[in-house]
């Protein structure tokens, strides 16, 4: 299995471990497998037995082996076992699935150490980084951006690991108090929190600008944990397989997924699972008021918005107006035409966006299974109340966006297959919105007791690439890992 960039035709393919440590491709594109591995009925049946008998980590080892051939299979199984266990996750199932009713299910991705779906990929990524860096005798300085949950998940996965530093950019004042407490409360010598004067898209732009400086990136060993890193998406493919297996009893049954998303990473993993042959019917893109992706799947117009037009909402992890992973899907949609993809994302996006042809939009819906919906603050409050009253289940605002989109798909698009709504986080992370919806804040789980009281460790910086580079340089020069 080798990997190619979305932007350079006929480039020399790269190995998995090379792109694991590198993140963004040198041409500014994103890595994807040269081809998606295909799974047949026999493989799905074998995976069903493995999940039933040996659990999530064993299933993970099987899926990973399809994408990674430069790490021995037994080492991959050991890596998965270290990532997915009850030391890291609150449930022995790792990703339980709950049936709500009316054709709706919840896939629980919030059982990890930071109570967010990002833990599913980050715990694996931490193990992969430590393994490969030790094998090479190298160090890595991770630069990332977060709109809420990626940062804490990355930091909890990387804290204390040999050979790794983490520099995480956050949009100043744009995360909930609980999310800030999770990140800024960490006092580890290899963790550096940066509050940038801007929105998430500004943070993401700084990460891309630093990564695009080849000399700086090479000299200071800059790597990525954002979903531009292929290993993140690879890890997320596993829970789509897990959820499909848990909802079905035979390989003939299809399942749909409703996925709250702003950066397109979570649902892009579902696209990959579907392309592999996992029997997925519809992929439902759920957005909040920052509805760039919903607009695209309704009209074919991809219109990224500037920072000043990115709204602060009650589902803040989706307050994103430029979806980095969207390039991966468009690459597939245009027949893996790297030259065209480079023009769309390297030029057209900088000029304000692009519009795809009607035939391509139809293929996105019919061949690739995508549909979409938009949710507002009022929708979230109503969904949180209704799900609590109807099913006795409490959801966070982002998952409420997903459930609202799933119901829209049932009503407007006639989706009749079971829909798994991917839960993004525990409600405690968004206590103010839960209190507004229900009249009282959710209880803080015992495993997070005292988190709001810890001292804060964060550096405020301007929205300036040079200032961030200077901070990285000074920090590397003064700390050992």
Phi, psi (rounded to 5 degrees) for 169 = -90, 130
Looking at residue 349, its pLDDT comes to: 94
Beta partners for residue 105, in sequence order: 99, 420
Q: Give catalytic residues, as residue numbers.
A: 118
For residue 384, name the pLDDT band (cuts at 50, 70, 90).
very high
For residue 455, name the pLDDT band (cuts at 50, 70, 90).
confident
Question: Between 306 and 244, where is the model more confident?
Answer: 244
Mean pLDDT over each residue of the chain, to the nearest integer = 93
CA 321 to chain centre: 15
Looking at residue 212, its pLDDT comes to: 84
Looking at residue 148, its pLDDT comes to: 67
d(CA 77, CA 57): 8
Question: pLDDT for 133-172, tens place per residue?
Answer: 999 999 999 998 887 677 888 899 999 898 899 999 999 9
Give the pTM. Answer: 0.91
Looking at residue 174, its pLDDT comes to: 83
Task: Provide the residue ranges of all domains of the chain, joining segments of one domain with +.
Answer: 97-114+230-438
Of 100, 149, 152, 120, the closest CA to residue 400 belongs to 100
CATH of 97-114+230-438, one of 3.40.50.1100, 3.90.550.10, 3.50.50.60, 3.30.365.10: 3.40.50.1100
For residue 98, name the pLDDT band (cuts at 50, 70, 90).
very high
Q: Where are the beta strands (DSSP E) in 405-458?
A: 419-423
d(CA 183, CA 147): 12
Looking at residue 322, its pLDDT comes to: 87
């Amino acid at each position: 299995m080798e990997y190619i960039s979305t932007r350079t035709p006929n480039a020399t393919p790269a190995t998995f471990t090379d792109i694991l440590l590198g993140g963004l491709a040198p041409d500014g594109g994103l890595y994807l497998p040269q081809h998606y591995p295909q799974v047949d009925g026999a493989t799905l049946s074998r995976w069903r037995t493995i999940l039933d008998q040996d659990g999530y980590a064993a299933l993970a080892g099987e899926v990973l082996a399809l994408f990674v051939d430069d790490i021995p299979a037994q080492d991959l199984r050991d890596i998965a076992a270290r990532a997915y266990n009850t030391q890291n996750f609150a449930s022995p199932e790792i990703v339980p699935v709950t049936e709500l009713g009316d054709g709706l299910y919840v896939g629980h991705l919030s059982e990890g150490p930071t109570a967010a779906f990002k833990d599913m990929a980050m715990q694996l990524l931490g193990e992969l980084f430590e393994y490969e860096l030790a094998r090479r005798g190298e160090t890595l300085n991770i630069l990332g951006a977060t709109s809420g949950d990626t940062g804490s998940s990355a930091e909890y996965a990387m804290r204390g690991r040999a050979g790794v530093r983490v520099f995480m950019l956050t949009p100043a004042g744009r995360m909930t108090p609980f999310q800030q407490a999770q990140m800024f409360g960490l006092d580890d010598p290899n963790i550096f929190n940066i509050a940038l004067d801007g929105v998430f898209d500004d943070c993401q732009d700084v990460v891309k600008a630093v990564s695009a400086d080849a000399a700086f990136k090479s000299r200071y060993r800059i790597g990525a944990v954002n979903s531009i890193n292929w290993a993140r998406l690879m890890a997320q493919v596993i829970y789509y397989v897990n959820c499909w297996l848990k909802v079905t009893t035979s390989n003939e049954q299809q399942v749909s997924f409703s996925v709250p998303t702003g950066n397109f990473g979570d649902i892009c993993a579902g696209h990959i699972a579907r392309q592999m042959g996992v029997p997925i019917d519809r992929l439902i893109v759920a957005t909040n008021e920052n509805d760039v992706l919903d607009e695209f799947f309704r009209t074919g117009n991809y219109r990224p918005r500037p920072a000043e037009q990115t709204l602060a909402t009650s589902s803040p992890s989706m307050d994103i107006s430029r979806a980095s992973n969207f390039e991966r899907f468009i690459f597939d949609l245009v027949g893996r035409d790297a030259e065209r993809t480079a023009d769309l994302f390297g030029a057209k996006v900088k000029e304000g966006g692009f519009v795809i042809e009607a035939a391509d939009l139809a293929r996105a819906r019919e061949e690739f299974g995508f549909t979409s919906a938009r949710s507002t603050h009022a929708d979230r409050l109503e969904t949180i109340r209704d799900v609590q009253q109807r099913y006795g289940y409490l959801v966070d605002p982002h998952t409420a966006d997903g459930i609202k989109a799933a119901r829209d798909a049932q009503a407007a698009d006639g989706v009749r297959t079971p829909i798994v709504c991917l839960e993004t986080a525990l409600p405690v992370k968004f206590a103010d919105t839960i209190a507004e919806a229900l009249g009282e804040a959710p209880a803080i789980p015992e495993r997070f007791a005292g988190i709001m009281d810890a001292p804060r460790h964060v550096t405020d910086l301007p929205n300036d690439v040079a200032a961030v580079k200077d901070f990285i340089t000074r920090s590397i020069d003064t700390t050992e890992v």
